[in-house]
A and B are shown apart, each in its own frame.
Chain A
Amino acid sequence: MNDCGSPPAAPLAVETVGLRKAFGALVAVDHLDLTIPRGEVFGLLGPNGSGKTTTIRMLCGLLLPTAGRASVVGHDVATEAEFIRTKIGYMSQRYGLYDDLTVYENLRFYATVYGLHGTARAARLDAHLAALGLDELRTQMAGTLSGGWKQRLALACATAHEPEMLFLDEPTAGVDPAARRAFWTSIYELARRGTTILVTTHYMDEAERCQRLAFLSRGHLIGLGTVQEILTQFAQPTIEDVFIELQRRDEGAAV
């Protein structure tokens, strides 16, 4: 399925035009125009409730947009979700692991769900386990892993099928700094091999690792560009200051 010589890929990994999602009267995302070229590590930032998770869920086909359109790896999320699902990986804050399966069983299960079988699957799994340093833990129950290891396993499961595009929704929440650093090493390794990555985060050091950033506030895109461009736009010394400034504005608007 993922062999070489596949038809030329669309140049954009993600493209949204006027994307909107409303839950009843609450508009979670509005007028979102976003383009992410292939191979980019793209950060989606914003305070809680700014619409980050809703955006990711729409791009993954977990939610249908209320209006506007979005395409992922060149295919429309509303009409070609089935196809998109074979090309993307998704990792949520909750990791989505089966606690009473072992590390290896979790990985094997997700690989199977993604259509991998037989020796190809076994080889892929071994490679993944080795790459993520999970080899020693393959027979341990996922439920007994520490936060950092769970996160690595979740990443392994989300990338078992070597997706073209990876969505990470606050992947490092509640994980210690060493594990976070290791995680980002893996992320860069995936990006180097051509995977496009969209990540939401609350950690400013992580935001600064992204090639480009988008700031969401109350469902609207209010800042877009490289770290340097964002700092210039908001006239703040660090990304953290931008963030706090935005949060302050949000609260001001809410009053």
Chain B
Amino acid sequence: MRRDRLTFLMMTGLPAIQLVLFGYAIQTDVRHLRTVVLDESRSAESRALIATIGNSGNFDIIGDVASREALRDAVESGDANAALVIPPDYEREIKGGRTAAVQMIVDAADPQTSAAALSGALLAAQARATQIISERYRLLAPLDMRVRPWYNPAQRSAVFIVPGVIGILLTITLTLITGIAIVRERERGTLEQLIVTPISKTSLMLGKLVPFVVVGYVQMTVVLGLGKLIFDIPIRGSVLLLYVLTVPFIIASLGVGLLVSTFARSQGQAMQMTFFFMLPNILLSGYVFPRMSMPAPAQWIGLMLPLTYYLKVLRGILVKGVGFAELWRPTLSLAVFAVVLLAFSVRRFSKTIE
């Protein structure tokens, strides 16, 4: 391994790069939208509203614009993602006890970005409205909804994504690298050379697969460590339990890798096949995109991927801190995958080497 630099790089570099890329880049929570303000009221009331919205965390007030045209320019050029328009009669309407209308324009080309902005704007306006009412009538708000975001109170996506990186990485290592390694042995003739030796098929396969199990566990440990260090992800449950429940996932993934190696005739083919397998894993397993929002067929495909269940185990143990009692169902599914995939691929592998 010391000499096969490329493989070594793929095995150690991948965890780090994936972790940083996905940990930092995939921020499904949109914060700090750049916001310009067209304040035609220029009053104490309008400044109070701007302050409320600016303090919500969803909007960063980056400046004032003088006109509707300037506002449009700012949004169209992408300098601003949102624009707040306060009409000239804003203060007058509020003072007069009538309903004042304000406008929030959001660049909603990306629905994910805009969703947070839209709800953020509504919440800020409601907060301000409640404040005005309670000041005016010296009343206390009749209802106070206290939302408690469990498990991830700060709602950071890293908490959600980083455990998933472990699942994705294990999938890559155990299917892609395993598949390629075996196909390479076939290409070079070393596999054939080994088959004519007295070594048993079982030892041959174990010899090929076990090192990757070790690599998988090392990667997992690296990501857990770096995730804790860089992203401060929680490790609430038992790491030991996680390592144990990873076994069926590893076996299932190795089964896929072995299966790929029996179909692929060259390393390039193995790469393509694995890529074909990786795509649904990344998109449909719930790694980044919530499965609940997917159309039914996409959800069904997701149910056929071991990673979908493994992500439940990962997030359950790391983020929620639950134990086996809560995780026996995904574990059972993983075990079924493991048995079926391994049995099938070993059978096929034995056949190809007769």
Contacts and interface: CB of A to CB of B under 8 A. Distances in A.
B197 A113 contact: yes
A86 B197 CA distance: 7
A100 B3 CA distance: 6
B188 A99 contact: yes
A62 B197 CA distance: 10
Interface string A80-118: 001001101010111111111100000000100111000
B192 A113 contact: no
B196 A85 contact: yes
Contacts of B199: 113
Given A94-B189, A100-B4, A62 B194 contact: no
A45 interface: no
A97 B189 CA distance: 8
Contacts of A99: 188
Q: How large is the interface on A (under 10, 10 to 19, 20 to 34, 35 or more residues)?
A: 20 to 34
A90 B198 contact: no
Contact of A96 (B189, B200, B353, B354): B189
A98 B190 contact: yes
Given A64-B354, A114-B197, A114-B198, A96 B4 contact: no
15 contacts: A61-B195, A62-B195, A62-B196, A64-B354, A82-B198, A88-B196, A90-B196, A93-B189, A94-B192, A96-B188, A97-B188, A101-B3, A113-B194, A115-B198, A141-B3
Contact of A86 (B4, B189, B192, B198): B198
Contacts of A60: 196
A141 B196 CA distance: 23
Contacts of B196: 60-62, 85, 88, 90
Interface of B: 3-4, 188-190, 192-200, 353-354
A63 interface: yes
Nearest to A106: B190
B193 A90 contact: yes
A166 B199 CA distance: 17
Nearest to B2: A100
A56 to B, nearest CB: 10
A63 B354 contact: yes
A136 to B, nearest CB: 20
A85 B203 CA distance: 15
B320 to A, nearest CB: 44
A98 B192 CA distance: 12
Of listed B4, B189, B197, B200, residue having the most chain A CB within 10 A:
B197
Interface of A: 60-64, 82, 85-86, 88, 90, 92-101, 110, 113-115, 141, 157-158
Contacts of A90: 193, 196
A91 B200 CA distance: 19
Given A61-B195, A86-B198, 17 more contacts: A61-B354, A62-B192, A62-B196, A63-B354, A82-B200, A88-B196, A93-B189, A94-B189, A96-B190, A97-B188, A97-B190, A99-B188, A100-B4, A110-B193, A114-B197, A141-B3, A158-B193
A88 to B, nearest CB: 7
Nearest to A60: B196
B336 to A, nearest CB: 32
Contacts of A115: 198
B106 to A, nearest CB: 56
Nearest to B207: A113
Contacts of A94: 188-189, 192
Nearest to A114: B197
A64 B190 CA distance: 20
A85 B344 CA distance: 26
Contacts of A97: 188, 190
Nearest to A97: B190
A113 B191 CA distance: 13
A59 to B, nearest CB: 10
Contacts of B3: 100-101, 141
B197 A110 contact: yes
Complex A-B, nearest 8 residue pairs according to Cβ-Cβ distance, in ascending order = A96-B193, A94-B189, A90-B196, A100-B3, A96-B189, A85-B198, A86-B198, A113-B197
A62 B188 contact: no
A92 to B, nearest CB: 5
Contacts of A93: 189
A113 B204 CA distance: 10
A157 B193 CA distance: 10
A115 B197 CA distance: 10
A114 B197 CA distance: 6
Of listed B190, B193, B200, residue having the most chain A CB within 10 A:
B193
A85 B4 CA distance: 30
A47 B154 CA distance: 74
B198 A96 contact: no
Contacts of B4: 100
